[in-house]
Structure 1
Amino acid sequence: GGAYQELGDFSRASDWFGRALAQRLARGERADAARLYGRIGAVHTYAGRYGEALRNWSSAVTGHRKNGDVAAQARALSEMARVQEYAGRPEESLRTCQEAVEWARHAQDVRLQAALQLRLADTLDRLGDPTAARLHRGAAERMLGEEYLTAAGFESNGGAPSSAYEIRSASAED
């Protein structure tokens, strides 16, 4: 499936991922099945088949939730929000993205939460709310700054990078 996806043959990629999914479901391999729903959702997204993509991303979200993988659930919700936006449903996308941010908070994954805050900010920009978008970007920068400080061993009150550029540059080196 991955090879066909790389070649841009999304119908064959979907078919092969579907075959793998059927095997995983038959064997009760739920975590692999949830990931395959996501792969199928991605292929349908690339092909512009947003209805199919949303159904598969929804199945991925459900699978990750049943498996207790909160971070994967947040990532799948984020991809679902992206597809909703592509499909011309920005309000739904906003609600789904907010839900993804909340699940990332539960997962205690700071990088994921910051990335989803940035996605939420982009969605708010497209919906015409630049003030709220700035607030979410600021929150993401603060999260990335805190993570940088923790990873680098700095105290929270000293040695902090002074700008978002410095935070992102330091994080990229990790």
Structure 2
Amino acid sequence: MAAWLLFLVCAGAVLYSANAQDLYNQLPDDYKKGVDLAFEQLNSHAGVQHHFRFLRSLEKSDIESGFSVRSLYHHFYLKPTRCAKGTTDSNPQRCPFRNDRPLMDCAVCYKMANNQIESSPKPYVHCIQKPRLTEDMKTTRTLHCQKMNYNSGAPTLLAVSTG
């Protein structure tokens, strides 16, 4: 009986891991680019020692600014895996989630034009272990992304009169 229960728990964990990878694959490409920015930041940080995989989205917004320019915001969780940092294989069977480490809470905001992330304003990426996220940090994230959205100004066309 105990072996059967253990089998069910393991099977559930594999399905849960596969579902998380499917959730990343189901993201629109523009949101995947933001998640990839968070992966790049985590992999470049000396204090991070684990490979992470996308777990789930908490909030997404996409604001059209005109002339095919959009401002995207994505709040999501990343979960550490048993693979070493820098691993490129995110197969759930080879890199299963760790349940003994906290989730990484990430928020990214960036401008997109012609399906590319704009370098100005510089994309904002903020990831921190979920238990360490404070209300002040949440407020700072929100204000920073709002400022990015409105600071660059809306594109305008000058009216030219002929005559």
Per the normalisation by structure 1, the TM-score is 0.30
Query: Larger relative contact order (C-alpha < 8 A, sep ≥ 6)?
Result: 2
* Greater strand proportion: 2
Q: Which has the larger radius of gyration?
A: 2
